[in-house]
Amino acid sequence: MALRMAIAGNPNSGKTTLFNAITGSNARVGNWPGVTVEKKEGIYKKKVSGQTITLVDLPGIYSTSPYSPEGIIARNYILDEKPDIVINIVDATNLCRNLYLTTELLEIDIPMVIALNYIDVLEKDNVSFDVMVLENALGVKVIPISAHKKKGLDEIMNAAYKAAATKRQARSVLRRFSLGDSISKISSILRELNISSSDYIAIKLIEGDQLLLDSLNLNDDAKKNILDAINKIKKDHEDTEGLIADLRYDFITQNCQCAIKNSKKLKETTKTEKIDKTLTHKIWGLPIFFLIMFLMFFLVFGEFEIAGITVMMPGVLAAYGIEWVIAEIGELLARFLSFVNASDWAIGLVVDGIYGGVGAVFGFLPYILVMYLFISILEATGYMARAAFIMDRAFRKFGLSGKSFVPMLMGFGCSVPAVMGARTLENENERRLTILVTPFMSCGAKLPIWTFLTAAFFEGITATLVIFSIYVLGIIMAVITGVIFQKFVFKKQKTPFIMEMPPYRAPDVKTLLRILFEKFKSFAKKAGTIILVSSVIIWFLQSFSFSFKMVDNPNDSIMAKIGGIFAYIFKPMGFGTWQAAFAVLSGFVAKEVVVTTFGTLSGLGDPLENEGLMEQVKAWITSAGIFVSPLAAYCFMVFNLLAPPCLAAIGAISQEVKSKKWTAVILIYQLILAYLISLLIYGLGNLVMLII
């Protein structure tokens, strides 16, 4: 039997770094809180006394309270799967906060050792640490390590191996306080029922942990006795959870703090405090934040002309580069296929269907990667935690957290990285809600739809207002959705805003590159599966008639017929033509395609490729009566704004919410909202016009 060791600790305490260093595997090292939600397992590179050792990298947690999926996962693993030993990794530069979790873990009946990490930082700052003080206070072995510098790894593994062989008496630091008697009483009731880790469970029950209480399946007698004891405490202390937290911290400051020998404060902390004075300043904090965000967007999407020369920022530059490469390869592919005398449909399938669809989606990749790079830098330096904190108060009002802000902001660029960015939200409901509303932020690919239709139907200042109103509408819908879900779907379940304010640090290049590579990998995987299949299906529907003959005129295609059916649905909003329906459907491939589709349908060509065509296509749109009025065209825009996003983004949504049910809820909600709101605007608009 292999020995099982679990690594538990706060986010950013270096769990993943330690895990990777001792297993040599490639588990991701990152700075996103909550990224290690999946349980990661690996095998120790060496053997100890001929034994194989498996390791589990538990999600980062501040405590074992059931406020986040991470907390529940980690504690269930320790309590139920009973690893042979817990290696509690502690960030020595943040001792107090990290030891909070330690005091909880000590109460569980499992051997434990402490890996005191970041010892290199302490050394650099000339801070000395008295390991004995900590060992005496906590009663477990403490080994100083630097996961980053790979120091002390053999020592910690040997100590863990030794400790795993001996039974450890679970102990609670709370016993010495006034609460001790009540804990003893409840603990002994639990022990009589053969429930292990009785101190731990007793304390959680006093804290009011309903989840744990339910999972125990106590008999009525025991339950009554326990609840009686708890109620007795509650007479004196209303907030038992707060009381217990205070006592734990009291213990830590009285007994552990003095392990840090150098009275001088850690240099890093003071540096951080100084920077924080400016960056989270009451008045300057917000403008600085918006400036940083603006700069980031500019670096990703910026493109301007100066003295006749077009200057492109990294994101745009990379996008043009990729676009060029994709087009060239497409050309080569087409030439090669005609060279080998491939049939028309085979060329169409490969070039337009497979390559065209997947290629179009890869066109987003540079934006995604460059955006992610900047976000990761802001994350790694520690700034993002402050930004979320600044925004939290405003967002809390409509069911979101400050951490929703960044994904939503990214949504104005591209929903794909935005939806992925929602990973920073630990609370499941907040994460789902953020993912749901992010696509309402009008993304870059939707902009051509607005500019194209607005130019065709509106003039002057009205045109500007129309586009502006679309952006505002998206934001309003996000807020309304937040309020609705908060009130009717999620109900209570509010979680406190717990977010670590890590010290400011220079980002680690290796970590950044690894994050980018991970992003690329997950994107390529998606492009190779869901997007590939859907592209082929859409190509087929566009290129074939119901008699399975290839069509020259798109009007004869299956898609046109399907569009004809959907046209009925859009009739009440004034765009009940099959062309408009077709454009909406094609928009699921990528939103730019909506405009391209109008070009194809007019028989004139792609207006996005050829400036001169734009005017003709616009003229065709009005003369062909695709939209019964400018208002109808506006409602078409509203529908495209709120309806489910493109396939790439839908793929990201389903991947991130990890639940078929929730993916369905999100997409159906978006669809219904898009329909109702465009219907409402059409009705109200017509009413207003009737009156004036």
Q: Which residue of 12, 272, 427, 678 would you call a contact of ligand GDP, by CB under 6 A?
A: 12
Q: Does 17 bind Mg ion (CB under 5 A)?
A: no
Specify the residue, 306 or 509, whose C-beta has the smaller distance to Mg ion. Answer: 509
Residue type at position 386: R
Beta carbons within 10 angstroms of residue 294's beta carbon: 11
Specify the residue, 148 or 175, whose C-beta has the smaller distance to ligand GDP. Answer: 148
> Given the structure tokens 């209570």, which residue do they identify?
492
Q: Does 415 bind ligand GDP (CB under 6 A)?
A: no
Tell me, what DSSP letter sits at residue 280?
A: T
Q: Does 434 bind Mg ion (CB under 5 A)?
A: no
Specify the residue, 67 or 575, whose C-beta has the smaller distance to ligand GDP. Answer: 67
Tell me the site size for ligand GDP, rule CB under 6 A.
Answer: 22
| Partner from Mg ion, ligand GDP, none binding residue 557, C-beta < 5-8 Å depending on class | none
Q: Does 13 bind Mg ion (CB under 5 A)?
A: no
Contact 21, 118 (CB under 8 A): no
What are the DSSP E strand ranges found in 412-539? none
User: Which of 435, 427, 404 lies closest to 71, judged by CA?
Assistant: 427
Q: Which residue of 16, 442, 586, 600 would you call a contact of Mg ion, by CB under 5 A?
A: 16
Nearest distance in Å: CB 377, ligand GDP? 12
Residue type at position 50: G
| Residue closest to Mg ion, measured at CB | 16
Contact 416, 366 (CB under 8 A): no
Specify the residue, 156 or 419, whose C-beta has the smaller distance to ligand GDP. Answer: 156
User: Which of 610, 672, 668 lies closest to 639, judged by CA?
Assistant: 672
Specify the residue, 117 or 600, whose C-beta has the smaller distance to ligand GDP. Answer: 117
| Residues near 490 by beta carbon (within 8 Å), at least 6 away in sequence | 399, 429, 433
Specify the residue, 72 or 562, whose C-beta has the smaller distance to ligand GDP. Answer: 72
Nearest distance in Å: CB 31, ligand GDP? 6
* Segment near ligand GDP (CB under 6 A); pick from 23-31, 178-186, 469-477, 519-527: 23-31
Q: Which backbone phi and psi does 4 adopt, to 5 degrees?
A: -110, 125
Nearest distance in Å: CB 137, ligand GDP? 22
Tell me, what DSSP letter sits at residue 162?
A: H
Q: Which residue of 3, 6, 8, 13 would you call a contact of ligand GDP, by CB under 6 A?
A: 13
Dihedral sign for Cα atoms in the order 679, 683, 688, 689: positive
Q: Does 168 bind ligand GDP (CB under 6 A)?
A: no
- CA separation for the pair 71, 60 (Å, rounded): 8
Q: Does 41 bind ligand GDP (CB under 6 A)?
A: no
Q: Which backbone phi and psi does 493 adopt, to 5 degrees?
A: 45, 40
What tokens appear for 377 in the block?
């830098």
Q: Is residue 497 helix, strand or coil?
A: coil
Contact 578, 572 (CB under 8 A): no
User: Which of 267, 255, 272, 269 lies closest to 99, judged by CA?
Assistant: 255
Q: Does 144 bind ligand GDP (CB under 6 A)?
A: no
Site string for ligand GDP, 90-129 (x = CB under 6 A): ---------------------------xx-xx--------
Residue 660, CA atoms < 13 Å, CB-side half-sphere: 0
- CA separation for the pair 312, 159 (Å, rounded): 55
Question: What residues numbered 507-526 form the site for ligand GDP, per CB under 6 A?
Answer: 508, 511
Specify the residue, 121 or 205, whose C-beta has the smaller distance to ligand GDP. Answer: 121
Q: Does 12 bind Mg ion (CB under 5 A)?
A: no
| Residue closest to ligand GDP, measured at CB | 14
Segment holding 253, helix H or strand E? helix 240-255
Q: Which residue of 6, 8, 16, 454 would you call a contact of ligand GDP, by CB under 6 A?
A: 16
Specify the residue, 82 or 148, whose C-beta has the smaller distance to ligand GDP. Answer: 148
> Given the structure tokens 């297993």, which residue do they identify?
23
Question: What residues numbered 36-65 form the site for Mg ion, per CB under 5 A?
Answer: 36
- CA separation for the pair 8, 114 (Å, rounded): 10
Q: Does 42 bind ligand GDP (CB under 6 A)?
A: no
Q: Does 147 bind ligand GDP (CB under 6 A)?
A: yes
Q: Which backbone phi and psi does 262 adopt, to 5 degrees?
A: -75, 120
| Partner from ligand GDP, Mg ion, none binding residue 185, C-beta < 5-8 Å depending on class | none
Tell me the site size for Mg ion, rule CB under 5 A.
Answer: 2
Q: Which residue of 3, 5, 22, 29 would you call a contact of ligand GDP, by CB under 6 A?
A: 29
| Partner from ligand GDP, Mg ion, none binding residue 17, C-beta < 5-8 Å depending on class | ligand GDP
Contact 378, 384 (CB under 8 A): yes
> ∠ CA(236), CA(239), CA(244), 5° rounding?
95
The β-bridge relationship of strands 309-312 and 40-43 is unpaired
| Partner from Mg ion, ligand GDP, none binding residue 599, C-beta < 5-8 Å depending on class | none
**Residues making up the chain, counted from first to last:** 692
Q: Which residue of 3, 6, 8, 11 would you call a contact of ligand GDP, by CB under 6 A?
A: 11
- CA separation for the pair 692, 399 (Å, rounded): 39
> ∠ CA(263), CA(267), CA(272), 5° rounding?
125
Specify the residue, 32 or 544, whose C-beta has the smaller distance to ligand GDP. Answer: 32
Nearest distance in Å: CB 159, ligand GDP? 17
Q: Which residue of 42, 60, 366, 413 would you call a contact of ligand GDP, by CB under 6 A?
A: 60
List of residues contacting Mg ion (CB under 5 A): 16, 36
List of residues contacting ligand GDP (CB under 6 A): 9, 11-17, 29-31, 36, 60, 117-118, 120-121, 146-148, 508, 511
